[in-house]
């Protein structure tokens, strides 16, 4: 019997009591190949319309009401959340189905609010609940289907004192490994917001509240920039992305807070290593994007870097390396765009022939088309448009 037919047999047995939700979830999680679940099954099969959501709701209700789960419930939550996460990664038809699970969404909001308001379940507010990893997987699953209903409560999480505490704990205690609490607050929640905030209204709300605190975090971390671990770099990407999403709406004084930080990161983090870690590449790329937007949106800061900064020569050297050496194509295009803003046109064209710039652009465009997302394509097109010949 094939994996797919065995899974279908298990599904069909749930309504007669021959199989249980946990049997089906374990089988699905163990499969190497992807079982194709149709829209018809998501909408009409009892496992998806009744049993699976109901069991997950029962677990979340218990977790919310009592603040804890026993060993069996903890294991059940773990298996079910893994199933849900796998479903949303591999089954496009899961999007409409999961977005319609109102009771499950509402209970998820309640549990997340317990974290944001009181620090329940996380190590910063007390002992870390072992089921936090399962809840993290649940949030990731909702992110994968672009669920909008969790945005408010997860924005509350990333503007809570527990978020800041998680950052300080990361820098002071152990910056080489993320705890479950740190992963949830510093990675999963901001990733969800950036992915699901389609109309981009949350970055400004978050930054208006958090920028002074971000500034404190950067002041704490920047003296040790040469020793930043991969987890620290990963977690720092998200505040920078939030700032990037609203930089044109910020006042000059607010922009000044981040300007020096970004210059320091670029001068310290830049590398031509072809084996650069993804987190470090993302940090460099996002920093380049933010500095470009600062220069385009504020003449004073643009002139400061072009004419007054003692860092200009170092920045240009770094950008020349990034645009030519073994970095990825997205970074190359942004480095070229920033160079075109910093140096005279004739100097730019002397160092960067039109055909070389075009080659970088085409490579970026091909990669974006392979990704298949309009966001990637738009970023590439805006990158070329930003290069001033």
In a domain, 52, yes or no: no
Q: Which of 12, 17, 11 is nearest to 31 (CA)?
A: 11
The tens place of each residue's pLDDT in the chain, 389 residues long, gives 466 678 888 888 988 889 999 999 999 999 876 667 888 999 999 999 999 999 999 999 999 999 999 999 999 999 999 999 999 998 989 999 999 999 999 999 999 999 999 999 998 766 899 999 999 999 999 999 999 999 999 999 999 999 999 988 887 665 678 999 999 999 999 999 999 999 999 999 999 999 999 999 999 889 888 888 999 999 999 999 999 999 999 999 889 889 989 999 999 877 656 678 899 999 999 999 999 889 888 888 888 888 867 788 888 888 888 887 766 788 888 888 888 888 776 666 665 545 555 555 555 555 555 555 555 555 545 555 545 44
User: Distance (Å, rounded) from C-alpha 317 to C-alpha 137?
Assistant: 42
Domain region containing 276: 251-389
Q: What angle do CA 178, 182, 187 make, to 5 degrees?
A: 95
Q: Which residues are within 8 A (CB) of 246 and not within 5 positions of it... i.e. 6 or more apart?
A: 203, 204, 207
In a domain, 292, yes or no: yes
**Helices vs strands, H then E, count in the chain:** 23, 0
User: Distance (Å, rounded) from C-alpha 64 to C-alpha 270?
Assistant: 45
The pTM (predicted TM-score) of the whole model is 0.88
User: Distance (Å, rounded) from C-alpha 312 to C-alpha 341?
Assistant: 12
The token duo for 361 is 């652009």
User: Distance (Å, rounded) from C-alpha 153 to C-alpha 139?
Assistant: 11
Domain count, the chain: 1
In a domain, 324, yes or no: yes
257 contacts 211 by C-beta, under 8 angstroms: yes
The token duo for 114 is 């317990």
Q: Which residue has the tokens 């999680």?
A: 29
2-7 long-range CB contacts below 8 Å, 24 or more apart? Answer: 3/31, 3/32, 3/33, 3/35, 4/33, 4/35, 4/36, 7/31, 7/35
In a domain, 270, yes or no: yes
What is the separation, in whole angstroms, between the first and last Cα of the chain? 63
Provide the sign of the torsion angle of the four alpha carbons 149, 150, 152, 153, taken in this order.
positive
Q: Which residues are within 8 A (CB) of 56 and not within 5 positions of it... i.e. 6 or more apart?
A: 77, 80, 81, 84, 104
- pLDDT, residue 366, reads 55
208 contacts 254 by C-beta, under 8 angstroms: no
- pLDDT, residue 389, reads 44
In a domain, 261, yes or no: yes
In a domain, 329, yes or no: yes
User: Distance (Å, rounded) from C-alpha 59 to C-alpha 341?
Assistant: 55
In a domain, 371, yes or no: yes
User: Distance (Å, rounded) from C-alpha 114 to C-alpha 109?
Assistant: 9
Rg (CA), the chain: 24
- pLDDT, residue 1, reads 46
User: Distance (Å, rounded) from C-alpha 182 to C-alpha 336?
Assistant: 35
In a domain, 363, yes or no: yes
- pLDDT, residue 31, reads 86
User: Distance (Å, rounded) from C-alpha 24 to C-alpha 7?
Assistant: 7
- Number of Cβ within 10 Å of residue 292's Cβ equals 21
- pLDDT, residue 338, reads 84
The per-residue b/e assignment along 248-284, b for 16 or more CB within 10 angstroms, e otherwise, is eebeeebbebbbebbbbbbeebbbeeeebeebbbbbb
Q: What angle do CA 286, 290, 293 make, to 5 degrees?
A: 140
């Amino acid at each position: 019997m094939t994996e797919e037919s065995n899974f279908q047999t298990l599904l069909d047995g749930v309504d007669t009591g021959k199989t249980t939700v946990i049997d089906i979830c374990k089988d699905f999680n163990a499969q190497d190949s992807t079982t194709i679940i149709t829209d018809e099954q998501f909408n009409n099969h009892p496992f998806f319309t009744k049993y699976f959501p109901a069991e997950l709701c029962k677990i979340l209700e218990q977790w919310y009401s009592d603040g804890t789960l026993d060993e069996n419930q903890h294991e059940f939550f773990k298996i079910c959340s893994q199933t849900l996460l796998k479903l949303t990664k591999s089954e496009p038809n899961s999007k409409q189905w999961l977005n319609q699970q109102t009771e499950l969404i509402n209970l998820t909001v309640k549990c997340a609010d317990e974290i944001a308001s009181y620090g329940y379940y996380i190590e910063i507010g007390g002992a870390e609940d072992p089921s936090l990893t399962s809840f993290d997987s649940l949030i990731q699953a909702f992110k994968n289907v672009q669920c909008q209903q969790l945005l408010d409560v997860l924005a509350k999480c990333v503007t809570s004192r527990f978020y800041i505490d998680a950052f300080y704990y990361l820098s002071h205690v152990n910056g080489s490994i993320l705890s479950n609490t740190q992963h949830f607050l510093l990675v999963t929640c901001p990733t969800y917001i950036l992915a699901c905030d389609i109309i981009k209204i949350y970055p400004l709300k978050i930054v208006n509240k958090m920028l002074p605190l971000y500034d404190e975090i950067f002041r704490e971390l920047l003296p040790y920039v040469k020793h930043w671990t991969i987890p620290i770099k990963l977690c720092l990407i998200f505040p920078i992305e939030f700032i990037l999403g609203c930089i044109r709406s910020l006042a000059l004084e607010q922009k000044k807070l981040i300007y020096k930080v970004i210059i320091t990161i670029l001068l310290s983090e830049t590398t031509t290593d072809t084996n650069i870690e993804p987190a470090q590449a993302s940090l460099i790329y996002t920093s380049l994007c933010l500095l470009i937007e600062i220069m385009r949106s504020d003449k004073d800061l643009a002139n400061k870097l072009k004419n007054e900064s003692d860092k200009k020569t170092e920045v240009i050297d770094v950008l020349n390396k990034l645009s030519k050496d073994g970095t990825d194509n997205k970074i190359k295009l942004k480095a070229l765009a920033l160079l075109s803003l910093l140096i005279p046109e004739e100097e730019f064209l002397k160092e960067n022939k039109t055909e070389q710039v075009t080659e970088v652009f085409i490579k970026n465009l091909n990669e974006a088309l392979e990704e298949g997302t309009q966001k990637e394509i738009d970023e590439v097109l805006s990158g070329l448009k930003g290069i001033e010949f």
